[in-house]
Amino acid sequence: MRISEKPDRDSRAPVNSERPGSPGALSGPASRKLPVPPRERKPALAALALLLVLGGALATTLLVMRSGDRVSAIQITQQIGAGQPIVPEAMEEVQIADTGIGYVSWNHRQEVAATFARVTLLPGTLLTEQMVSRASEQLRPGKVVLGLALKPGQMPQSLQRGDQVQVLYVPGSGHGASAEGKVLAPSALVQSVGGGDGDGGGSGQVSIVVDATVSPTIATYASSGEIALGQLPGAG
């Protein structure tokens, strides 16, 4: 009698009996990938970044718009010493960017012409209210504007209106070698030089502001040619 053995169907069946494409089936490299956690969203950081971008764009726009705004201001064209009047010919109109600084407008030039410089104003200075004063410290009562006619060598060639000078007594040769010079006024304001335009020159004509107590002595020595002026750099 032949005994035939039936093949074991279970031993020949594939380990994974699920067909490809069926739910739960894994195939290829996908079956070996690790699970990726979902990305966490941070809406607060995104909103902050958006605000920063918008703020930067707005600031840039305002700067560009502000740079195009121009205002009219007063610029000084001549040196004006502290205490001297600000004359109309020493002012000119300029157009500058509106930076928020309180420059005096060109529309107020007539009012400025009735004021005095509080500090020494150099050419090119843009005028502000802090630079002017209604009253002059140099031309107050007790001061005298004294005109001098000096010879070459008795005053610096670079002297100009608004400078501060020292008034010196320089004895002439007729006084002998024992005579010594002295300071008549330690500091005096130059009111005008030459023709009065403040440009200097070699004419020897100069007007200074001195105390009334020393003006007679200075005038006496000046008439005999025994006066010299020494410039005080940085004063004023």
Give per-residue pLDDT as tens, 10-37. Answer: 545 455 545 555 555 555 555 556 665 5
**56 phi, psi to nearest 5 deg:** -65, -40
Higher pLDDT, 51 or 232: 232
Per DSSP, the residues of 109-170 read HHHHTTSEESS-B-TTPBPBGGGEESS-SSSSTTEEEEEEE--TTSS-TT--TT-EEEEEE-
- Residue 152's pLDDT is 86
Task: For CA atoms 75, 78, 84, 86, give the dihedral sign.
Answer: negative
Under 8 Å CB-to-CB from 17, ≥6 apart: which residues?
none
Cα(147)–Cα(195) distance, rounded to whole angstroms? 12
Query: Is beta strand 143-149 parallel, antiparallel or unpaired with respect to 70-76?
Result: unpaired
Band of pLDDT at residue 3, cut at 50, 70 and 90 = very low
Higher pLDDT, 142 or 15: 142
Indicate whether 229 pLDDT > 60.
yes
Summarize the confidence of residues 121-131 as an average pLDDT: 92
* Token pair listed for 219: 């005038």
- Residue 219's pLDDT is 94
Cα(18)–Cα(191) distance, rounded to whole angstroms? 113
DSSP state for residue 5 in the 8-state scheme: P
Cα(50)–Cα(43) distance, rounded to whole angstroms? 11
The reported pTM is: 0.53
Q: Quick: pLDDT tens for 35-80.
A: 655 665 567 777 777 777 777 777 776 665 555 577 899 999 998 8
Cα(33)–Cα(36) distance, rounded to whole angstroms? 9
Band of pLDDT at residue 163, cut at 50, 70 and 90 = confident
Residue 204: exposure state from Cβ atoms within 10 A (0-12, 13-18, ≥19): middle
Domain range 70-133, its CATH number among 3.30.565.10, 2.40.160.20, 3.90.1210.10, 2.60.40.10: 3.90.1210.10
Higher pLDDT, 98 or 153: 153
